[in-house]
Amino acid sequence: MPDGSDVLVVGSINMDLVLEVSAPPRPGETILARGAQLQPGGKGANQAVAASRLGCKVRMVGLVGGDAIGAGLRQGLGDEGVLTDTVETAPVMSGMAAISLTPDGENAITVAQGANAELAAERILALPDRAFVCRTLLLQLEVPLAAAVAAARRARAAGAMVLLNPSPPRQDLQELLALAHWLVPNRLEAEILTGLKDPAAAGRALLAAGPEVVCVTLGAEGALVMTGGEERHIAAPHVEAVDTTGAGDAFMGALAAAICQGRDPFAAAEFAAAAGALATRRKGARAALPTLQDLEAFRRSD
């Protein structure tokens, strides 16, 4: 596939400020962090890197700001082997995220979209056809919905499989759900999208909205995978979690890689669950993303 890619990612590119705290601050409270780090991030960029580290040829579509941070974010993607010819610059600040990380590895994230908010559908429509020659398209919702819909339409027209990670969740997804082959929410996102607390009930409701496969991720409990004819719980390997920030992005990147390898939905989810679990054993959403060698060794030892 000389002009195309295995995985095309249309999504956010951010710089993350990670604050290590004992607990998130309450309203009106000022607390002191135990440590702080600046790290490249963004759901889209992290998922692109995750797939690239697992051996896929990956292209990123997104926007960075016309600042030094933006230049560094683009360079960082290139250093990870991600094709960045479709990463453009907008005359605004780059996307930023503030992440509060607690000692038990849990996190709370606040995102300032910056340049990501400028990724209009018109930019997607203006991209050359070769950009959409891919096996899988990975989408998230940290960029405008119209851009995600436009990308899904172009990728499907080119014969690609569309994977949607509905994060952050929103209610007006009917058109995008009908274009997605895979829908991969976490437990809370599935509840927000359907109003149903039970992951199985929420997954069935989402499956009825159009996707061929719904995979509700359950953190340390693994994932629930549903197709039109079968439901199966996929267990996650047991690990001592240090930082869960990058687990979801590791899962999505590994899922795209597994689908490119031709694995069936349940085997693909098992591969992705192992990647997500392994990513929790190191700090940093980007730094924790496993290589193919790391993941294969981990799966052999589990």
Q: Is residue 155 a contact partner of residue 179, using CB atoms and an 8 Å limit?
A: no
Closest CA to 44 of 116, 118, 120, 132: 116
Can 249 be counted among the known catalytic residues?
A: yes
- List Cβ neighbours of 15 (8 Å cut-off, separation of 6 or more): 38, 39, 40, 41, 69, 72, 73, 94, 95, 96, 97
Q: How many angstroms separate the CA atoms of 184 and 262, rounded? A: 18
From the list 249, 264, 294, 302, the catalytic residue is 249
Q: How many angstroms separate the CA atoms of 110 and 101, rounded? A: 12
Residues carrying an active site annotation: 249
